[in-house]
Structure 1
């Protein structure tokens, strides 16, 4: 009852950090029913398509080796040699089939949980030996769902068997009365049809089990408002998180400034330590505006972008240092009007009287 009340208080969606912690602890949605059903389907399909070759190999081996058994010179050494060779040939013939089962089983497991080794799952947990906890798990919602899935599986198998075998009583009787050479292919086809339908029914039930496991996993990750508040507080106080946020903000600002450089009227440089891009449009600006600025490597990037865009780049070290103190997007202070006016006049002269 307390668990239900606790679950009702978990109304907040899990954060990425909570999901990562759960995965690190080995808590992932996993359906053993789905793995088993896929292996079963693979086994039936493998027998259907590889079975004839496997049967032919067995017949060839027995026809070649069994006649030797009745000979007088057939002793213990010959028997051991025959058994060893026969076993190797049979194993070689069955390897593709068992390899298919192994690949499907491993693939179905990895597709659900990924590649991870969690040692916490291997540590002994004394809580699992608690009889009170065992009774709680016995009468939990998960046990009810597993019971319903088991009932659904039994009903599905019974329904499929009835569907496949209904009306085929005469065929089954003829198999028992016919010669083995004629009856074997008919029996094999009927068995394969029944097995394929049964495997499909099991797989269908397993899909519902996987959906329930995912639902149960998502519910287990839900957080209370207090848990969410504490986690956000921890993340905000994490110096690594803060540093990462600042780095992302700086990169975003730099990208924005570089996109403004082609719109600039002129770029003033130090030449290698500072670079400041100025825009002056008499129709919209009452004074020149700093649209981008940088120092060091970023100053070189601004100058390079300006040259690529056809924006004049002028070396004015004292002016570049003074302009670098102005924030991007702001007009230059009146104290720099005269120096900047001289730069703009020079640019106007370069362009034939226009900015």
Structure 2
């Protein structure tokens, strides 16, 4: 079947995004059989406990009103009054019963799918009217499973009915020989017992149906390798595009850094492998020398070229260059451990320029 072939190609577990999209479209594992059996079970249990009081209420009404109806003065007005009173008393007794059934149905539904309001299922889907697709669904795996569950339900009902009634055939025959109240009570007890066992059998089949619905739902959400790759690409972005963005960001950062080189006070080099640009300008609020640019290899060479072109002194201090490169990030002030070595470099630069160093630089 095409359905089985499709499942064979879907080997990957569904992603959280796929589950969320399915839920938004109203695709959730749901068993109507489970809801129906829960309501039936609640109805049977409710009748077992509420049936006798309800029956007594109706008998009390008839005992009070039937003798009155036999009087000669009982007219249309009296009949209407009796009917209204009877209806209200029976209605009050039944409202609680049907309210419980409604609550059980809601709880059984919400327990399966959670609280969800979805209008997409209300939108007409004309594809369901396609005879070809309908014919395919008729012979699908889901249809075969439904037939199997129906056969299992019928077999379970028959077996349970036989199991409950067969030992009680003698008691059923004796009902006609007993009093009417006794026969009514015995019949009620037997009917409730039979209904409870039958509904329990239906509920068991409904649980099997729910397990299958969850399995079918999980299978429908599974993805092919291509679908998984496409979704991950949509979520995280195309790797090529992300790599290109990172490259552009690095280039922009590098250009911004190189633009600071002409403003540097001195360049400390390895001499060829490392280059670190230092700036110390008290007028700009520098409390300590700041690393404005650094690089290795070709970038170090570029920093050196820009510095020489801008007239910035370039000094070879291999140990200091490596230490600055390793310990200080761009835009950060140098640590206290390097103050003395950097101060010596700055003092040398100031002597080259014939500038009297500021007190902060000497310190």
Please indicate, yes or no, whether the TM-score normalized by the shorter chain is above 0.5: yes
Query: Residue in 1 aligned with 2:129?
Result: 129
Query: What's the CA shift for 1:339?
Result: 8.1
Normalising by structure 2, we get a TM-score of 0.67
Query: What's the CA shift for 1:318?
Result: 5.9
CA distance, structure 2, for counterparts of residue 131 and residue 81 of structure 1: 57
Q: Spell out structure 1 runs of 4+ moving beyond 4 A.
A: 317-323, 330-335, 338-341
Output one character per residue of 1:80-110: Cα deviation in whole Å (capped at 9) or x when no partner: 2211111111010111211111111111011
Output one character per residue of 1:170-215: Cα deviation in whole Å (capped at 9) or x when no partner: 1001113311112122111111111111111000000000000000
Instruction: Give runs of aligned pairs for residues 1-355 of structure 1, distance below 5 A.
Output: 1-237=1-237, 331=327, 335-337=334-336
Query: What's the CA shift for 1:149?
Result: 0.5
CA distance, structure 1, for counterparts of residue 165 and residue 229 of structure 2: 61
In structure 2, list runs of 5 or more residues that go unmatched. 243-284, 294-325, 341-363
* Cα pair distance change 1:72/1:118, threshold 3 Å: same
CA contact (8 A) 1:175 1:183 kept: yes
User: Which sits farther off after the overlay, 109-118 or 41-50?
Assistant: 109-118
Output one character per residue of 1:155-178: Cα deviation in whole Å (capped at 9) or x when no partner: 111111111112211100111331
Output one character per residue of 1:237-272: Cα deviation in whole Å (capped at 9) or x when no partner: 39xxx9xxxxxxxxxxxxxxxxxxxxxxxxxxxxxx
Query: What's the CA shift for 1:322?
Result: 5.9
Query: What's the CA shift for 1:336?
Result: 2.6
CA distance, structure 1, for counterparts of residue 5 and residue 160 of structure 2: 42
CA distance, structure 1, for counterparts of residue 95 and residue 88 of structure 2: 10
- CA RMSD across the alignment: 2.6
* Cα pair distance change 1:338/1:3, threshold 3 Å: closer
* Cα pair distance change 1:130/1:64, threshold 3 Å: same
CA distance, structure 1, for counterparts of residue 74 and residue 290 of structure 2: 105
Output one character per residue of 1:316-355: Cα deviation in whole Å (capped at 9) or x when no partner: x9669969x9xxxx745894325889xxxxxxxxxxxxxx
2:117 alignment partner, SS class: coil
Query: What's the CA shift for 1:55?
Result: 1.2
1:166 alignment partner, SS class: helix
Output one character per residue of 1:124-162: Cα deviation in whole Å (capped at 9) or x when no partner: 111111111111111111111011111111111111111
2:335 alignment partner, SS class: helix
* Cα pair distance change 1:335/1:220, threshold 3 Å: closer
In structure 1, list runs of 5 or more residues that go unmatched. 243-316, 342-355
Query: What's the CA shift for 1:5?
Result: 2.0
CA distance, structure 2, for counterparts of residue 182 and residue 195 of structure 1: 20
Output one character per residue of 1:25-77: Cα deviation in whole Å (capped at 9) or x when no partner: 00000000000111111011001111111111111111112222122222222
CA contact (8 A) 1:319 1:339 kept: no
CA distance, structure 2, for counterparts of residue 132 and residue 188 of structure 1: 50
* Cα pair distance change 1:6/1:183, threshold 3 Å: same
CA contact (8 A) 2:57 2:90 kept: yes
Query: Residue in 1 aligned with 2:266?
Result: none
Normalising by structure 1, we get a TM-score of 0.68
CA distance, structure 1, for counterparts of residue 168 and residue 199 of structure 2: 20
